[in-house]
Structure 1
Amino acid sequence: MISAFLPSKAGSLAAALALLLAACAPAQESAQPPAQQPAAPVVPAADASVPVQASVCGQVVDYPTAPERAVVHGINLVEMVLALGLQDRLAGYGGLRDITRLPPVMQAQLASVPDLSGASMNLETLLGAQADFVFSGWSYGFRQGQVTPASLAELGIASYVLTESCIRQGSRERVALEDTFADLLALGRIFRVPERAQALVDAQRAELARITTATAGVARRPRVFLYDSGTDIPITAGRFAMPHAMIEAAGGENLFADIASSWTRGNWEDVIARDPEWIAIVDNDVPTPDAKRQFLLAQPELAHLSAVRERRFVLLDFAEATPGPRNVAAVRKLAHALHPDRVPAP
């Protein structure tokens, strides 16, 4: 129906998330909703040798010692680790095609850390980096039959799995900004810097509360279409992707909240029928956000959509739309667009 112009989700995310543990892009298949599991309690440790625990996809995992040579995959996951000031614990990273996609202060933090993205990131590569810990996610780098937490454990390498990605392995009740906070707190425990993690999370919870208080009781929640990529089939966010929680917190309604998956395929027929009032475009490098916007504006079938007719577009960086320390700031950006009378500009 709509002319081919933009790459598929597999192409865009494979480029944005350069290979680290194994070549893969975020999966598109639908999944059935994981029982929500509470995060393990914060347990301050006296030193790096004091054992701690964390909840990983609903399972309690022991971490006897603090990681000293961690490998992290994915720009948003790298930002989590850097937000906690853990750059000196990194043996390498992957998933960043361009370090300039990071905030300037984080570029400086990562400057001396080896970029492992160019290598074929398999178990051999991780052993070559002398990794003692891997932080990744299902459909980021962990993939059955390739590199998994279980295969790493067999080699004595600890790991932690991004909470949002647990939908790829089981059911969940919902996704929430608290998932990102739980990951930050878990990393704080694992690396034995719980105070840093708690301070960061406390500040973000306070900012999120200010936004949700401002949008509470709004008369209308504008319909928002999250557009990641795709022409024949649009790649969007179902109700288990982080943008769903962000749109809700911003006082909006996710156009594809009825899809029980995370990053997934939608369809143009539903986009047209549901008439989004805003379109949030994800910037994952190729093509550019403006190219995506021009594509949407050029399609006769979309010309009558409220968002297209009124030119209501919001740009979200890939690291803002995926779980990470920039989620709350992105919620404010969305909330200001949807409810400028209630939420000041960032």
Structure 2
Amino acid sequence: MKSNRYMRKQLLVSCCLKRSALMTMASLALALTLSACSDHRTEDTSVMPGKAARAPLSIEVCGRPVVYDKVPQRAVVHGINLLEMFLALGLQDRLVGYGGLRDIQRLPKAMQPLLAQVPDLSSQGMNLETLLNAEPDFVFSGWSYGFRQGQITPASLQELGIASYVLSESCIRQVARERVSLEDTFSDLLNLGRIFDIEARAGALVRGQRAELQRITDALKDQVDKPRVFVFDSGTDIPVTTGRYAMPHAMIEAAGGSNIFDDLNSSWMRGNWEDVIARDPDWIVIVDNDRPTADGKRQFLLAKPELSQLKAIREQKFVLMDFSEATPGPRNVEATRRLAHALHPAHIPRP
């Protein structure tokens, strides 16, 4: 005979699936639709074994306080860089699913076995049905990573009794920010440590990364030359690049360079080839996200006639970054050192 918990879960999924056609409406409509299911979800999760109650913990997320009253036991993470954060903190035993990872080989080799028993819920966007079937009590993602207005959002998850945390860098999609910094990555790691009650582990990881970053910036503190850097993510007719609120901007600054598109007031966005030519970068950072391959992007840039006189093209000065290095994650500092060595080899030893 099926358990009451199973029946409640099936009722919840059925309830939410009947309303899936409304997922393209505005987020307020989504929240109202999902509220019909929230009572069932709240009843179910309140009796899940192993959910450790604690004194309410308040953390600022995208400029507003969010309260966490339980230590999550069943987490879903969407986005390769966010997944690397989670695994770097040793939280693989809390994972009941992940998404946004097209190929597990994109992870560092040491991390790949950690996902052997964890279901891949979606290689692309979040899917409500598969998410609910995993019965999570916590979702970690970011705006334009997995959270999207009119689809799955922190507010709609809250209606279902599911806690969430939003990647700090992605908050620019919802609220104004003063700047982006590698401290954003450190803050996310520390906040996850608080949420999952592993503060000592998170603190040790962040202290090591802060110390390494300090060594880089100390070595470059008297450096006045700031090589111009163009970040090329994708695009042929129009390049997708890094504005002043994307992580590579902070990494370029820490590495002693200047982002040629620091006047674009968002994170990842479209630039134009005319400005690339006018601003004549000394270096080009190619983001490797397999669409196409990094070498394919390099060959495209070298073959584009109007770019032939750029200094970076003439001298073939390229730095390759994996997508998960160029987005907030535990490999940001390592990639910053590699970039700093390329820009200032006399001051920063080869990694």
- How far, CA to CA, are the matches of 1:255 and 1:120 in structure 2? 31
Q: Is the 8 A contact 1:123 1:152 kept in 2?
A: no
Q: How does 1:241-320 map to 2 (within 5 A)?
A: 241-320=246-325
Q: How does 1:203-242 map to 2 (within 5 A)?
A: 203-242=208-247
Percent identity of paired positions between Structure 1 and Structure 2: 71
Distance change >3 Å, CA 139–CA 119, structure 1 → 2: closer
Offset from partner CA, 1:167-203 (integer Å, 9 cap, x none):
0001000000000000000000011101111000000
Q: How does 1:1-346 map to 2 (within 5 A)?
A: 48-51=52-55, 52-117=57-122, 121-346=126-351
- How far, CA to CA, are the matches of 1:193 and 1:172 in structure 2? 28
- How far, CA to CA, are the matches of 2:127 and 2:310 in structure 1? 45
- How far, CA to CA, are the matches of 1:304 and 1:119 in structure 2? 38
Provide the secondary structure at the position in 2 that maps to 1:314: strand
Moved more, 122-131 or 195-204: 122-131
Match of 1:43 in 2: none
- How far, CA to CA, are the matches of 1:160 and 1:93 in structure 2? 15
RMSD value over aligned CA atoms?
A: 1.5
Provide the secondary structure at the position in 1 that maps to 2:98: strand
Distance change >3 Å, CA 169–CA 100, structure 1 → 2: same
User: Which structure shows the higher helix fraction?
Assistant: 2
Q: What is the letter of the counterpart of residue 298 of structure 1?
A: A
Q: Is the 8 A contact 1:119 1:125 kept in 2?
A: no
Offset from partner CA, 1:148-174 (integer Å, 9 cap, x none):
111000110000000000000010000
* Stretches of structure 2 lacking an aligned partner (at least 5 in a row): 1-22, 25-50
Q: How many angstroms does 1:286 deviate by?
A: 1.9
Provide the secondary structure at the position in 2 that maps to 1:91: strand
Q: What is the letter of the counterpart of residue 162 of structure 2?
A: I
Provide the secondary structure at the position in 1 that maps to 2:262: coil
Q: Is the 8 A contact 2:125 2:146 kept in 1?
A: no
Q: Is the 8 A contact 2:325 2:335 kept in 1?
A: yes
Q: How many angstroms does 1:216 deviate by?
A: 1.1
Q: Is the 8 A contact 2:100 2:125 kept in 1?
A: no
Distance change >3 Å, CA 94–CA 298, structure 1 → 2: same
Provide the secondary structure at the position in 1 that maps to 2:53: coil
- How far, CA to CA, are the matches of 1:202 and 1:287 in structure 2? 36
- How far, CA to CA, are the matches of 1:201 and 1:326 in structure 2? 12
- How far, CA to CA, are the matches of 1:315 and 1:321 in structure 2? 10
Q: What is the letter of the counterpart of residue 73 of structure 1?
A: H
- How far, CA to CA, are the matches of 2:200 and 2:247 in structure 1? 25
> Normalising to structure 1: TM-score of the pair?
0.85
Q: What is the letter of the counterpart of residue 322 of structure 1?
A: T
Q: Is the 8 A contact 2:100 2:123 kept in 1?
A: no
Match of 1:40 in 2: none
Provide the secondary structure at the position in 2 that maps to 1:50: strand
Offset from partner CA, 1:105-159 (integer Å, 9 cap, x none):
1101111111111597333322110010000001111111110111000110000
Match of 2:35 in 1: none
> Normalising to structure 2: TM-score of the pair?
0.84
Number of aligned residue pairs: give it.
302
Provide the secondary structure at the position in 2 that maps to 1:290: helix
Offset from partner CA, 1:52-109 (integer Å, 9 cap, x none):
2221101111111111110000000000000000000001000111101111111011
Distance change >3 Å, CA 269–CA 160, structure 1 → 2: same
Moved more, 163-172 or 52-61: 52-61
Q: Is the 8 A contact 2:277 2:310 kept in 1?
A: yes
Bigger Rg, which one: 2
Q: Is the 8 A contact 2:63 2:175 kept in 1?
A: no
Structure showing greater relative contact order (alpha-carbon pairs closer than 8 Å, 6 or more residues apart): 1
- How far, CA to CA, are the matches of 1:333 and 1:120 in structure 2? 31
Q: What is the letter of the counterpart of residue 240 of structure 1?
A: Y
